[in-house]
Structure 1
Amino acid sequence: MKHDDTSWFDEDAPLLRPYAVTRGRTVGAGHELDMLTLVVCAPRAPRLRRTEPEYTDIMRLCQVPQSVAEVSAVLHLPLAVTKILVGDLIGEGYLDFRAPMQTDIGPNDVNLLRAVLDGIRRL
């Protein structure tokens, strides 16, 4: 029986583990970032000195406002990793951020739930 040494390799798998991208860090630089936090390049951001491609990709994407979740999805990175990288760029003055707006509507608001259900039914 012939054994194929490449049978274990998954071409869709990332080549680097997420902890390698963040250098083992599991928490960010002190910014509480939500997945809905909007980030955009700072108007007078210094020239990017980081050489890691993830930081360059984030800066390219954030020429227009993006949510942290959008950045995560486009770059195919876990949300936790994206929060750490975005937090680094915020801390160094490359990105500006705005937390999502808080509303008085909670997840148990019956009127909101009815409106969502009505919208789904119309689809």
Structure 2
Amino acid sequence: MSGEGQGTSHWFDDEAGPVVRPYAMTRGRTIGAAQDRLDLIALVVAEPHADDPEADRTLSPEHVDIVELCRDAPQSVAELAARLDLPVGVVRVLIGDLVNGRLVHVTRPVPPAELPDESILRDVINGLRAL
């Protein structure tokens, strides 16, 4: 048997950087604690006391990135997945960890059924203009 191809061929190109499987980031978990509230439009907000997530040695770099991204403005789960270039499932598990650690909280946008009717809003605007 020849040693051809051993140690000389790559299954990825050199510019790809280090390859970390998503299950390694989540330690094999596929469901987080807050999974039921984490659809794509759920908004993740950093807690005010989470001002230095890098000081917490239990957090992975991805956890820290999520807290940092949510510090200035709420971010949706979909936005976080896109900005971190990670699968949504991985981001959901990581957010669940942060919710358990009380570093972020998750809010839901107002459902369309609970928004005021457009005609009511127009009437209010017209009434204000008439003043």
TM-score normalised by structure 1 residue count: 0.72
Q: State the superposition RMSD in angstroms.
A: 2.5
2:62 to 30, 37, 54: 54
Matching residue of 1:8 = 11
Q: List gaps (5 residues or longer) in structure 1.
A: 105-123
**Aligned partners of 1:85, 1:23: CA distance in 2, in Å?**
10
Please show how residues 1-123 of structure 1 align to structure 2 within 5 Å: 5-10=8-13, 11-12=15-16, 15-32=19-36, 33-45=38-50, 48=53, 49=56, 50-63=58-71, 64-104=73-113
**Aligned partners of 1:89, 1:102: CA distance in 2, in Å?**
25
**Aligned partners of 2:46, 2:98: CA distance in 1, in Å?**
9
Give the aligned residue type for 1:57: D
The alignment of Structure 1 onto Structure 2 pairs a total of residues equal to 104
User: Per-residue deviation at 1:59?
Assistant: 1.1
Give the aligned residue type for 1:39: V
Provide runs of 4+ in structure 1 moved above 6 Å.
Answer: none
User: Per-residue deviation at 1:6?
Assistant: 3.6
Give the aligned residue type for 1:89: L
User: Per-residue deviation at 1:94?
Assistant: 0.2
Give the aligned residue type for 1:34: D
User: Which has a greater percent of helix?
Assistant: 2
**Aligned partners of 1:13, 1:28: CA distance in 2, in Å?**
28
* Alpha carbons of structure 1 residues 31 and 23: separation in structure 2 relative to 1, 3 Å: same
Which has the larger displacement, 53-62 or 29-38? Answer: 29-38
TM-score normalised by structure 2 residue count: 0.68
Q: List gaps (5 residues or longer) in structure 2.
A: 114-131
**Aligned partners of 2:66, 2:8: CA distance in 1, in Å?**
36
Larger gyration radius, structure 1 or structure 2: 2
